[in-house]
């Protein structure tokens, strides 16, 4: 399988690509840090990946997204799967006080993702086969006072993926929305850990299993599905009084 991984140095992406490396996949890894990319690439080659290429990119450079896809096609010949797994957990209070901070978070977590998905969708639509997998978040299921800027971006991504799934179904392309809960990664380093936190390996292996099973939406770990069902069911008049 020929796979483009955007956000390849994230802990979740690394754990997922380990699974594909073991089956001899050909990988095109994209992230901001060239040094970190090479470290991940070396690890995946040792684990069995047939080919691993890297491409350094800040995803907020929207004008370079087409260059990214051109480079991936040049390296791999064709693409079977696009996996997007990146994001920033910005400071909610800073966003509340600054339009610039808010727009920066929305650009990283939403606008850049939509740009990449638009290019990928047109490619896979022409081929009439392929897989698109995007890591969203349970934070996008309902707006909460503690992180509604981040949640807005993830919720918008999830809605976009719903529509894209409907469009791509007609041409045999699958679209998987991944909704992790709390994951113990560098992005959540400043967050106090609790019993609901999962290890990246659990989430990464869950993503791999969901891809293989042809899932369309998956909550990881599984228990976030009933939790979010309850959260979404709370009436607004009650929910707004909760400290969430």
* Residues identified as active-site: 150
HSE-CB at 160 with a 13 A cutoff on CA atoms is 23
For the record, the structure tokens of 69 come out as 């896809």
Q: What kind and span of H or E run contains 235?
A: none
Q: Which string of DSSP letters, residue by residue, matches 201-222?
A: HHHHHHHHHHHHHT-SEEEEST
Scanning 86-147, the segments in alpha helix (DSSP H) are 92-97, 99-106, 112-127
Phi, psi of 147 (to 5 degrees): -155, 40
Contact 62, 112 (CB under 8 A): yes
* Strand ordering across the sheet containing 26-31: 51-56, 26-31, 2-6, 81-84, 130-135, 173-180, 217-220
Handedness of CA 131, 204, 18, 28 (dihedral sign): positive
- Dist CA 167 CA 21 (whole Å): 30
> What SS3 class is residue 84?
strand
Q: Which string of DSSP letters, residue by residue, matches 8-25?
A: TTSHHHHHHHHHHHHTT-
């Amino acid at each position: 399988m020929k796979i483009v991984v955007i956000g390849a140095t994230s802990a979740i992406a690394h754990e997922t690509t380990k699974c594909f490396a073991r089956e001899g996949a050909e990988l095109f890894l994209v992230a901001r840090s060239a040094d970190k990319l090479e470290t991940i690439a070396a690890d995946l080659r040792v684990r069995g990946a047939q080919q691993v290429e890297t491409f350094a990119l800040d995803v907020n450079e929207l004008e370079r997204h087409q260059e990214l896809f051109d480079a991936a096609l040049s390296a791999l010949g064709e693409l079977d799967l696009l996996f997007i797994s990146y994001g920033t957990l910005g400071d909610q209070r800073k966003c509340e006080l600054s339009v610039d901070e808010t727009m920066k978070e929305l650009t990283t977590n939403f606008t850049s993702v939509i740009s990449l998905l638009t290019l990928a969708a047109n490619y896979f639509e022409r081929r009439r086969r392929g897989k698109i997998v995007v890591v969203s978040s349970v934070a996008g299921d309902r707006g909460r006072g503690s992180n509604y800027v981040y949640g807005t971006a993830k919720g918008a991504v999830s809605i976009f993926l719903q529509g894209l799934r409907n469009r791509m179904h007609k041409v045999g392309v699958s679209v998987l929305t991944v909704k992790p809960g709390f994951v113990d990664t560098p992005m959540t380093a400043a967050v106090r850990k609790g019993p609901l936190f999962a290890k990246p390996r659990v989430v990464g292996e869950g993503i791999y299993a969901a891809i293989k099973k042809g899932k369309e939406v998956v909550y990881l770990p599984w228990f976030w599905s009933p939790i979010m069902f309850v959260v979404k069911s709370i009436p607004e008049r009650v929910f707004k009084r909760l400290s969430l």
